[in-house]
Amino acid sequence: MKFLDEAKVHVKAGDGGDGVIAFRREKYIEFGGPDGGNGGKGGDVIIEAVDGLNTLIDYRYAQHFKARKGGNGAGSDRTGAGSDDVIMKVPVGTQILDEDKETLLADLTEVGQRVVIARGGDGGHGNAMFKTSTNRAPRRADKGWPGEERSIWLRLKLIADSGLVGLPNAGKSTFLSVVSAARPKIADYPFTTLHPQLGVVRLQPDGRPTPDGSLEFVLADIPGLIEGAHEGAGLGDRFLGHVERCAVLLHLVDGTAADPARAYRTIRRELAGYGGGLAEKPEVVALNKTDAMTPQATASRLKALSRAAGRPALLVSGATGDGVPAVLKALFDAIQAHRQR
The answer to whether the annotation marks 221 as part of a ligand binding site is yes
Question: 172 labelled as ligand-binding?
Answer: yes
Backbone φ/ψ region at 227: left (φ over 0), alpha (ψ -120 to 50), beta: beta
333 marked as part of a ligand binding site: no
> Does an H or E element contain 309, and which?
helix 295-309
Please check if 158 is assigned to a binding site: no
Q: Is 8 annotated as a binding residue?
A: no
Q: Is 335 annotated as a binding residue?
A: no
Confirm whether residue 94 is marked as ligand binding. no
Does the annotation flag 171 for ligand binding? yes
3-class SS of residue 185? coil
Residue 241 assigned ligand-binding role: no
Is 69 marked as binding a ligand? no
267 annotated ligand binder: no
Integer angstrom CA distances of residue 52 from 92, 111, 112, 212, 231: 9, 10, 12, 21, 34
Is-contact 8 153, C-beta < 8 A? yes
Is 224 annotated to bind ligand? Answer: yes
Q: Is 278 annotated as a binding residue?
A: no
In angstroms, the CA 291 to CA 229 distance is: 29
Q: Does 317 show up as a binding residue in the annotation?
A: yes
Q: Do 197 and 221 contact (CB within 8 A), yes or no?
A: yes
Check the annotation: does 195 bind a ligand.
yes
217 labelled ligand-binding = no
The annotation status of 288 as a binding-site residue, yes or no, is yes
Query: Has 222 been labeled as part of a binding site?
Result: yes
Q: Closest Cα partner for 124 from 85, 74, 84, 76?
A: 74
Question: Is 320 annotated in some ligand binding site?
Answer: no
259 appears as a binding residue in the annotation: no
Confirm or deny that 106 is annotated as ligand binding. no
The answer to whether 174 is annotated as binding is no
Question: The dihedral of CA 176, 157, 153, 191: what is its sign?
Answer: negative
Residue 134 annotated as binding?
Answer: no
Is 166 assigned a ligand-binding role in the annotation?
Answer: yes
Which parts are annotated binding residues for GTP?
166-173, 191-195, 221-224, 288-291, 317-319
Which parts are annotated binding residues for Mg(2+)?
173, 193
Which parts are annotated binding residues?
166-173, 191-195, 221-224, 288-291, 317-319
